[in-house]
C-alpha cells in the first residue's frame, strides 16, 4: 500500500472522529431543533407482551427459568440458614444472594468477588474514617460524599460502589448507635460471607447455565448476520446502487451478533476448565468473525465512494462463492453431520489475474515515466476493492475449516 493511500485513510479517520464528536456532544442550542430520523424505528427494538414467549420460558431450556429457579432455591436456603443461626440482620444474607446471583456462572463469580472484596474494603475504610475524624458533623459530611460516590458508580463500577456503600452504611450505624457499632460491622461481614457462599454454590450446583450449551447458537447467529452484511455490501458492486438503510441495519445486526459471541466466549473463559469445550476453536472462530466483519466494513467504505464507478457482474461469482462458504459454515454449525466440500478456486484466481494485470500495466507506465494516468487511479481505487474480496474469500474458507472441527 502506497504512502499516499495511507495518508488518505488517516485523513478520512480524522474526519470520521470529528464527525462522531460533532454528533455526540451536547449542545443546548442545537438540541432544541433536533428531530429524529425517519429511519429511527428501524433501529429500535420494541418487544411486545406475548403469552407464547411467557410459555416458552416455563422450561428448563430457558435460561430465565433456570435463573429464577436458582435464585428461589438460594434465597430459601439463605432464609432457613439465617433462621437457624438467629442472625440479627438476616436480610443482608438474602440481599447478598439476590445481588450476586446472575443468569451465568461467570457473571455470578465476578459479582461474588466484587461483593466480598468491596464489603471488607468498605468496612476497613469506615474504620479509618471514624478513627481519623472526631467531629460528628464531618463524619456526616463524609457519609453524604460516600452516598454520592456509591450511586454514581453503581452501574459502571460495582466494586467501587460496594466499597463506598459499605462505608456509608457503617458510618450511618455508628452515628445512630455508637455502642453497637462493632457488632454491626461483624454482622455485615459474616452475613455477606454466608450469602456469597450460598450464591457461589447455587450457581455451580442448582440447574447451572454453562456457555458451552449456548455458544453454538451465538456462532450461528454471528455467521448468519455476517452473511447478510456481506450480501448487502457485495450487491452494491453488482448493481452500482448503495442502499444506506439496508446497509446500516445489516451492519448493526452483524456487530451485535459479533459482540454477543465475544461476550459468550469471555464468559466461557471464566468458567471451570472442565466446562470449556473446544475453547481454542471457539477462540479462532471468534477472531475470524471479527476479521470478517472488519473487511466487510472496509469494503462498504469503498462501496460508498466508488461502487457506482466500478460496479460489474464480475463481482457476482466471487460474491456467490463467499456466500456459499459462509452458508456451509452455518450448516455445519447447525448439523454436525455435514462435511465441508472443496469448491473451485477459479473465481478467486480470476480476480488475482486482474490485480496482477493492473499492477504490471502500472509498472510499465512507471518505466516510461508516466505518472498521472488512468491506470494509476484504477490501481488506487479498484485494486483495494479486489483485495478485500480476496481477503473475505480466504476468511470464509478458513471459517468453514474451523467449524468442521467442532
Q: Supply the DSSP string of 247-306, one letter for each residue.
A: HHHHHHHHHHHHHHHHHHHHHHHTS-GGG-TTHHHHHHHHHHHHHHHHHHHHHHHHHHHH
Spatial separation of the C-alpha atoms in residues 158 and 114, rounded to whole Å: 7
- 298 and 233 co-located in one domain: yes
Same domain, 152 and 278: no
Q: Of 144, 173, 205, at which residue does a domain stop?
A: 205
Per the prediction, the chain carries an average pLDDT of 83
Residues 163, 283, single domain; the answer is no
Between the CA of residue 204 and those of 74, 94, 364, what are the distances in Å? 11, 18, 68
Per-residue pLDDT at 36:
60
Q: In the prediction, which pLDDT does 395 show?
A: 93
**Res 97: pLDDT:** 92
* Mean pLDDT, the chain cut into blocks of 10 residues (406 residues total): 73 82 67 62 67 76 85 92 86 90 86 88 90 88 93 89 91 82 81 90 85 89 94 87 86 93 89 84 94 92 76 78 91 73 58 72 73 71 81 91 85
Domain boundaries, position 301: 211-403
Question: Is the domain of 86 the same as that of 199?
Answer: yes
178 and 325 housed in the same domain: no
**91 plus 150 within the same structural domain:** yes
Question: What's the CATH code of the domain at 282?
Answer: 1.20.58.220
- In this structure, the answer to whether residues 274 and 397 fall within a common structural domain is yes
What is the rounded CA–CA span in Å between residue 284 and residue 354?
A: 31
Cα–Cα distance measured from residue 221 to residue 205, given in angstroms and rounded to the nearest whole number: 29
**pTM for the whole thing?**
0.73
Q: CA 373 to CA 88: how far, in whole Å?
A: 86
Residue 369 region, left (φ>0) first, then alpha (ψ -120 to 50), else beta? left
Name the DSSP class of 38. Answer: T
Distance from C-alpha of 193 to C-alpha of 78, rounded to nearest angstrom = 11
Render pLDDT for 211-241 as a digit per residue (tens, 0 to 9). Answer: 888 889 999 999 999 999 999 998 888 887 8
Does the residue 47 lie in any domain?
A: no
The whole-number pLDDT of residue 2 equals 64
Same domain, 116 and 225: no
| Residues 232 and 258 occupy one common structural domain | yes
Q: How many domains does the chain have?
A: 2
Same domain, yes or no: 172 and 83: yes
pLDDT at position 224, please?
Answer: 94
CA 277/CA 271 separation, integer angstroms: 11
> Quick one: pLDDT at residue 283?
93
Answer yes or no: is 75 within a domain.
Answer: yes
Among candidate residues 205, 229, 263, the one where a domain is terminated: 205
Is 228 found in the same domain as 112? no
Q: Give the residue from 228, 230, 217 showing the smallest Cα distance to 261.
A: 217
- Cβ 211 vs Cβ 102: under 8 Å: no
Q: Which of 169, 184, 205 is the last residue of a domain?
A: 205
Asked whether residue 189 is domain-assigned, the answer is yes
Amino acid at each position: 500500500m502506497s504512502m499516499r493511500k495511507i495518508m488518505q485513510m488517516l485523513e478520512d479517520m480524522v474526519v470520521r472522529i470529528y464527525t462522531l464528536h460533532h454528533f455526540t456532544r451536547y449542545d443546548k442550542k442545537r438540541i432544541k431543533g433536533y428531530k429524529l430520523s425517519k429511519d429511527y424505528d428501524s433501529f429500535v427494538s420494541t418487544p411486545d407482551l406475548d403469552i407464547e414467549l411467557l410459555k416458552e420460558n416455563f422450561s428448563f431450556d430457558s435460561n430465565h427459568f433456570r435463573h429464577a429457579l436458582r435464585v428461589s432455591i438460594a434465597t430459601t436456603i439463605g432464609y432457613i440458614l439465617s433462621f437457624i443461626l438467629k442472625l440479627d440482620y438476616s436480610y443482608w444474607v438474602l440481599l447478598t444472594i439476590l445481588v450476586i446471583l446472575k443468569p451465568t456462572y461467570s457473571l455470578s463469580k465476578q459479582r461474588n468477588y466484587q461483593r466480598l472484596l468491596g464489603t471488607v474494603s468498605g468496612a476497613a475504610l469506615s474504620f479509618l474514617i471514624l478513627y481519623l475524624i472526631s467531629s460528628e458533623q464531618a463524619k456526616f459530611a463524609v457519609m453524604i460524599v460516600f452516598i454520592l460516590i456509591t450511586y454514581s458508580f453503581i452501574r459502571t463500577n460495582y466494586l467501587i460502589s460496594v466499597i463506598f456503600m459499605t462505608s456509608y452504611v457503617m458510618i450511618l450505624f455508628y452515628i445512630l448507635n455508637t455502642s453497637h457499632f462493632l457488632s454491626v460491622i461483624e454482622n455485615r461481614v459474616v452475613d455477606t460471607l454466608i450469602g456469597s457462599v450460598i450464591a457461589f454454590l447455587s450457581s455451580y450446583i442448582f440447574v447451572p447455565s454453562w456457555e458451552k450449551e449456548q455458544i453454538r447458537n451465538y456462532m450461528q447467529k454471528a455467521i448468519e448476520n455476517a452473511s447478510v452484511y456481506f450480501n448487502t455490501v457485495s450487491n452494491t458492486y453488482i448493481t452500482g446502487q448503495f442502499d444506506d438503510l439496508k446497509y446500516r441495519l445489516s451492519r448493526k445486526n452483524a456487530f451485535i451478533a459479533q459482540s454477543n459471541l465475544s461476550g459468550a466466549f469471555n464468559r466461557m473463559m471464566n468458567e471451570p476448565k472442565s466446562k470449556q469445550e473446544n475453547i481454542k476453536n471457539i477462540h479462532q472462530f471468534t477472531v475470524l468473525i471479527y476479521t470478517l466483519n472488519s473487511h466487510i466494513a472496509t469494503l462498504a467504505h469503498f462501496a460508498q465512494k466508488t461502487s457506482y464507478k466500478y460496479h460489474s457482474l464480475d463481482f457476482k461469482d466471487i460474491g456467490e462463492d463467499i456466500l456459499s462458504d459462509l452458508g456451509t459454515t452455518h450448516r455445519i454449525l447447525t448439523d454436525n453431520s455435514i462435511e465441508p466440500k472443496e469448491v473451485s478456486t477459479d473465481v478467486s484466481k480470476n480476480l488475482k489475474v486482474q490485480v496482477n494485470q493492473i499492477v504490471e500495466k502500472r509498472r510499465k507506465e512507471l518505466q516510461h515515466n508516466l505518472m498521472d494516468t488512468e491506470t494509476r487511479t484504477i490501481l488506487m481505487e479498484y485494486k483495494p476493492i479486489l483485495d478485500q474480496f480476496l481477503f473475505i474469500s480466504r476468511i470464509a474458507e478458513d471459517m468453514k475449516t474451523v467449524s468442521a472441527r467442532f
